[in-house]
Structure formats: structure tokens, C-alpha cells
Amino acid sequence: MLPSHHFAARTAGLTLEQHIPGQKIVQSTGEAWKEAEAQIFCRPVEEEEVLVPAVADPLLVWVLSGEAKIEERELSGQWLHSDAKAGCFFLTQTEAPYLMRWKAKQDTPFEVLHLYLGLPLVNRAARSLGLTPSRCRMQDVSGARDTFIAGVLSGLVAEIRSDTPDNRLFINGLLESLTIHLLRCYATTQSTPTAKGVHLPAWKLRKVLSYMEEHLALPFDLDSLTALCGMSRFHFSRSFHTTMGQSPSSWFIRRRIEQAAILLRQTTLSVIEIALSVGYENPSHFSNVFRKIMGVTPRHYRKRQEP
């Protein structure tokens, strides 16, 4: 069995991977990456809106190629704009879910590195600087440049793209140097320890999201989800809402409708057949729910997709 800190870092990436579209090009593997995770993605040219869940591990995103206009906002906030170009980075350690969207230029692939820093690594680096880990938190940084960060990340990218086995000593040295630099330059220290939130742990979130995806055609079953996590209905629902910004049932309904929209675009199935495939036996109820979420009825939505 993998150590718990290894599993936490790995599932952080897997959880976020479910929510941000794109083709994964490279994935870090092996014992050398037990305290961190690296992924390289090629993102689509344009994405209208993506819900990014709260993930406890600090996340560093580095733009490898391409150029895009990135917009981010809290669930009840205003859109904030930043320009993403090759060599710039984004840093977050979000305590709450947020929304993002982007539009990239089409002449160059929009490729990004995601690097998750495990909390054991971050806490150890904080203690080496004489800091109290529970009082430290990474700042939110968008579209910045840092020559030290670029140099370290270039080394990590070269290592995970290499055909030779990853060198644990080399990777650990880069990760520890990077983490210390981030703590020195891009972290805040609070006078009192940060309060622990009620976020759903990454592995539990992935487990329940996968379960709901596989059972979209069946009635929503809160008891099955709580049983998967070993939590009470109240604590599970509260933790899920804190992490995802919506209740489990709301997420389930939206995923049903998103799946229905895909079928309307990509198949010739009738509206009734699609409604049944996502768990709605009453076509009228399905149409009402679809219109509430998508803004138009299923028939109008399909017609709008026609060339």
C-alpha cells in the first residue's frame, strides 16, 4: 500500500484532472514522486466555464507553450483577468472552489504543467526556515514570471519527459529548492494557526464523483455516497458543498444534464431516449430541468447545434 502522503498528492491531481478539460501528455510516476505530482496537459483553445474544486495541496501551473487570456472568479465574485504566456506561472492553495475560463490563440498549442506539492514536503520546508507550518499558506499568484521557478520547472519537465528512469535525489533536490523559494517569496504567515476547513479529502471526492458518474441513470442516493466515505449525511453534505460549491444532489443533476447535452449534440437519439438514459422517466420534467440549467429546452438546444 502506498504511504498516505503519496496517495493524497496523487489524488489531488486526479481530482482536478476530472474538472479541467484537456489531453494529458505526461504524468509523473514512481517512488521519486512520492511527495509531489507533475502532469503536462494540452488544453483546448477555448473553455467557457470550469468549476475548480478546493484542493488542499499547493498547486503551481506553468505555461509551457502558447498564449491565452485567463479569467478566474470566486463563486460570488467578479471575473479577474490575466494573460498566460509561455514562461509565466500561476500559484494557488485554494480553500474554496472557484470558476475559471480561457481563450487561447490557435497558432500554438496551449500546453501547461501542473505541479502539486504534497503537504509533508511543504511542512518540512517550512520548518527548515523556522516557520510554523500551520501558520503558512501560499498566496494566489496569476500570470507572474520568476527566473528561479522557471529554471527549476525546466529541470523537472526535462526529467519527466526523459526516457531514462527518474532520479529520486535529483527530483527531491529540485522540489525542495522550489518549495523553499515559494515559501520565502510567495507565502503568507498568519499570527494564529489557520483553521482547518471541512473540505472533502481528495480521495473521497474522487470516489463519490466517479460513483455518481457511473450511476447517472439511477435515482440520486445520498446514503450510498455517505457510506462510500464513512461519514454522516450532514458532515458529508457540508464537506462536499465546501469543496465543490454546490450540494451533492445539485452536482448530480448538473452532470445528468451535461451528459444529456453531449448526447443531443453527438447522437440522433430522440429527446425521450436521452431523457431515459440520464434517469428521467418524465420527458416534461426532463425538459424543465434542462431548460433551467442550459437556458433552452432540449429540442431548441439540439436545433441550435445544427450547422
User: What pLDDT is attached to residue 241?
Assistant: 84
Residue at 16 is within a domain: yes
**Does one domain contain both 99 and 241?**
no
**Does one domain contain both 159 and 95?**
yes
The CATH number given to whatever domain includes residue 103 is 2.60.120.810
Q: Which of 162, 189, 216 is the last residue of a domain?
A: 189
**Does one domain contain both 123 and 259?**
no
The ranges of the chain with pLDDT < 50 are 1-11
Residue at 221 is within a domain: yes
Other CB atoms closer than 10 Å to residue 290's CB: what's the count? 26
Tens-place pLDDT, residues 177-230: 999 999 999 998 876 655 555 777 767 887 888 899 999 999 999 999 999 888
Residue at 77 is within a domain: yes
Cβ(166)–Cβ(105) under 8 Å? no
d(Cα 186, Cα 126) in Å, to the nearest integer? 12
**Does one domain contain both 169 and 210?**
no
Residue at 206 is within a domain: yes
**Does one domain contain both 75 and 134?**
yes
Cβ neighbors of 305 (< 8 A, separation 6 or more) are 264, 265
**Does one domain contain both 218 and 181?**
no
User: What pLDDT is attached to residue 11?
Assistant: 45
Q: Which of 124, 159, 189 is the last residue of a domain?
A: 189
**Does one domain contain both 292 and 184?**
no
| Chain mean position to CA 161 | 22
Q: What is the DSSP letter of 76?
A: T
**Does one domain contain both 22 and 162?**
yes
Residue at 196 is within a domain: no
**Does one domain contain both 276 and 128?**
no
Residue at 197 is within a domain: no
d(Cα 45, Cα 249) in Å, to the nearest integer? 31
For residue 250, the number of C-alpha atoms closer than 13 Å in the C-beta half-sphere is 9
**Does one domain contain both 46 and 173?**
yes
Cβ(93)–Cβ(138) under 8 Å? yes
Q: Which of 189, 221, 237 is the last residue of a domain?
A: 189
d(Cα 128, Cα 139) in Å, to the nearest integer? 19
Residue at 248 is within a domain: yes
Give the amino acid at 114: H
**Does one domain contain both 221 and 167?**
no
User: What pLDDT is attached to residue 197?
Assistant: 54
Residue 236 is part of which domain span?
Answer: 202-305
pTM score, whole prediction? 0.65
Burial degree of 74 (CB within 10 A; 0-12, 13-18, 19+): middle
The CATH number given to whatever domain includes residue 282 is 1.10.10.60
Helix axes 202-214, 248-266, angle to 10 degrees: 50
* Cα separations in angstroms, 287 against 259, 302, 304: 14, 12, 16
**Does one domain contain both 105 and 220?**
no
Cβ(270)–Cβ(259) under 8 Å? no
Q: How many structural domains does the chain have?
A: 2
3-state helix, strand, coil in the chain (%, to 5): 45, 25, 30
Number of H helices, E strands in the chain: 11, 12
Residue at 143 is within a domain: yes
d(Cα 230, Cα 252) in Å, to the nearest integer? 20
